[in-house]
Amino acid sequence: MLLTRLQNAIKHSNNENRRTDNSTNDSKLDIMRLNIKPLSVNQAFKGRRFKTKEYDIFIKAVLFMLPNTLKIDNKSHLKLFITFGYSSRGSDLDNGLKTFIDCLVKKYGFDDRNIYEIMAKKEITKKGSEFIEWNIELIK
């Protein structure tokens, strides 16, 4: 079924995919729209994935560091601003997103499906000085 949907999406992609920004500014990339359902991590990988010892240690450490005073409404649409300070240029920007969002969900009890926007940034820092800076806002 998924294969059929993908084949149909490819067949019709030339007509349906469109630019949503007609800017002529060469320094700005046009926004492109691909009419295909995003693939979830669960769909992308076969078999079970197991959480590592490093994951458990990370979760416990972050839960301890997150402030106890923050309240996040579980019914609101949210925007997450996040900067990862990596010591390796080879680190992908999105590597830390899922585990950090898991921490926020555990600490503050909201459903991560209510995150409608993410503004993510990567900075390179010295080894031993890695960090996560973040903020979360309600979308009005």
- Long-range pairs of 103-107 with CB within 8 A, sequence gap ≥ 24: 103/58, 103/59, 103/62, 103/63, 103/66, 104/66, 104/72, 104/80, 104/136, 106/59, 106/63, 107/63, 107/66
- Please indicate, yes or no, whether residues 113 and 86 belong to a single structural domain of this protein: yes
Of 2-11, 103-112, 119-128, give the lowest mean pLDDT range.
Answer: 2-11
pLDDT in tens, 109-129: 999 999 999 999 999 999 999
Range of the domain at 19: 1-49
Residues 28 and 78 in one domain: no
Q: Is the pTM of this model over 0.85?
A: no
Query: Do 30 and 96 have their domain in common?
Result: no
